[in-house]
Amino acid sequence: MARKKTPMSWQFRLFTVVLLAASVVFQASTLILLIGMMPTIVAFLIDKSKSKNFTLTVGAMNISGVIPFLITLWTGPEGNTLATSLDIIGNPVTIIVIYSLAGTGWMINWAMSSIVSAMVVKRAQSRLEEIKKRKARLIERWGEEVSGDIPLDAYGFPILGDE
């Protein structure tokens, strides 16, 4: 079944035109952002969740690695030029710092997912224990018939062993 194409809204077209114009005007910053934010772009493409938590975690750490180099570009003595931007991006330390912080975002997401899942399992086990205690109290009060362990006939009466 073919997907129906939805027409682009005028807001999306305007945003695209403004973004392209800004990237041409601010070429030096765009170059650093484009190369520096590659891990976030990859995270966005592989994150299939609705909330995009993985992308947000990687993106936050990634942008924290890019910003110091953007500030260096903007305030440096060489000026805000494409050549300065290429010098900054061409420095291996720049790439190592930016991508290491993005990797830290990946690790934070992995660690937090593990911690949260462990907490959910622990809570479920605790709830199961509480249910077992409550079942034992109900059996003590009402008898073995309420346990659900006794086989019943079609009318809901217990099946006795000698019949």
User: DSSP assignment of 119-144, as one string?
Assistant: HHHHHHHHHHHHHHHHHHHHHHHH-G
What pTM value is reported for the model?
A: 0.67
Predicted confidence (pLDDT) per residue in 29-64, tens digit = 999 999 999 999 999 999 999 999 999 999 999 999
pLDDT of residue 80: 87
Taking a C-beta distance cutoff of 8 angstroms, is the pair 145, 151 a contact?
A: no
pLDDT of residue 6: 67
The structural domains of the chain, with segments of one domain joined by +, span 23-144
In angstroms, the CA 57 to CA 66 distance is 15
115 token code pair: 């911690």
Those residues of the chain that have pLDDT short of 50 are none
pLDDT of residue 162: 57
How many CB atoms neighbour CB 67 within 10 A? 14
